[in-house]
Structure 1
Amino acid sequence: MSADAVRYLVMPNPYLSDGVLDVRAVQPADIEAIRQWRNAQMDVLRQTAPISPEQQERYFAEHVWPQITSLEPSQVLVALERAGVLIGYGGLVHISWSNRRAEVSFLLTPELEKNTDELIALFSRFLDLMKQLAFEDLGLRRLCTETFEHRTRHVATLEASGFRCEGRLREHVLIDGKPTDSFTHGLLAVEWKNGQ
């Protein structure tokens, strides 16, 4: 990591790795690729309109970069790399420090999202790294997710990774004009520690 690289003050380790997947703070050079991935996969995100390059720059300038030095950022956005190549991003979002909880966010390149076996393997590895970051490094006590029902591979991977389905939000979102359910999943730090 270069001396001028963006690094979250709250992250004791600038890199987390399991030997295959590496995560590090999102860098300015990453945000255009992230914008393109988000625009190409709006059906799995809470995003309702394409993001322009200017909107992306403004969002990061106003909401991400100022939080890098915070001891209680509302989000910790990380880039996912495999063999030094950027393949996705995600992190911990909607962090509530008073309640010590966060939501897990995850998005791969559109090409990797289409490869079922690779997607499942990478998502599982990412979840393990986020558990380490949340529970060991940040001292959070709970992680949660929201997943649209058509992402069946993601739901199965969450459950295989120890997340429990906590509810189904019926017709919670409209995707291509069609009412779609969402699943909520959660994992407690104590469950994770007991399962290790």
Structure 2
Amino acid sequence: MGREYRVLKKQVFTNGLFQIVPIRDKDQLDIMKWRNEQIYHLRQNKPLTEQEQRNYFSNTISNLFNQDQPNQILFSYLEGDTCIGYGGLVHINWVDRNAEISFIMNTELEKDNFEKHWSIYLNLIEEVAFEELQLHKIYVYAFDLRPHLYTVLELNGFIKEAELKEHCYFNDAFKSVIIHSKWNKL
């Protein structure tokens, strides 16, 4: 077992062959590769370099584990022991008990396994958010670029809560942002 988040009693969340574990340093270059390949839908304005990624892991991520209320909790998404994605709860608001969901998967899996992996991941991250952290609300903030994402969210009980028209300037055009949310029923 790698590092553990102080804020979590349980560290590993499992669904069949898949699990999320506290983000592993050994996955950082795969994560960088996927982020760079999928930059079009991320809030990232330029490709990451290996040095930037290493600095982020050593200066930002390493500090999250010992915090009582980190602003993000990140996981490696595994099939067996192989990292096939990563994500977590970001922009955590501890006062209002809400957080944004972040997730990207290996780019090669997107075409044929997008719905499968998003659904499994949502199930796992909901357990973290609602059962472990007792958050009230989780949400996905997405540029209006991937309508197939909204279908997966809605199939998993998320409700389209808001559309922020022409909210972000991206690739020389204004893009809307769609927010899907789910509330803790526990």
TM-score range, shorter chain: over 0.9
For residues 34-113 of structure 1, the aligned pairs below 5 Å read 34-113=31-110
Q: Is the 8 A contact 1:90 1:107 kept in 2?
A: yes
Residue by residue over 1:20-40, the C-alpha shift from the partner in whole angstroms, topping out at 9 and shown as x without a partner, is 321001111111111111011
- TM-score by length of structure 1 reads 0.90
Q: Which residue of 2 aligns with 1:163?
A: 158
Q: CA RMSD in A?
A: 1.2
Q: Is the 8 A contact 1:16 1:24 kept in 2?
A: yes
Q: Which residue of 1 aligns with 2:116?
A: 121
Residue 91 of structure 2 aligns with an amino acid whose one-letter code is: H
Residue by residue over 1:60-104, the C-alpha shift from the partner in whole angstroms, topping out at 9 and shown as x without a partner, is 222211110112111000001112211000000001111111100
Q: CA deviation at 1:172?
A: 2.0
Please state if 1:177 is matched with 2:149. Answer: no
SS across alignment from 1:49: coil
- TM-score by length of structure 2 reads 0.95
Residue 98 of structure 1 aligns with an amino acid whose one-letter code is: V
Extract unaligned runs of 5+ from structure 2: none
Q: Is the 8 A contact 1:21 1:122 kept in 2?
A: no
Q: Which residue of 2 aligns with 1:142?
A: 137
Extract unaligned runs of 5+ from structure 1: none
* Larger mean Cα displacement after TM superposition, 127-136 or 166-175: 166-175
Q: CA deviation at 1:175?
A: 3.6
Structure 2: distance between partners of 1:154 and 1:11: 28
SS across alignment from 1:184: strand
Identity of aligned residues (%): 31
Q: CA deviation at 1:147?
A: 1.4
Q: CA deviation at 1:135?
A: 0.6
Q: Which residue of 1 aligns with 2:19?
A: 22
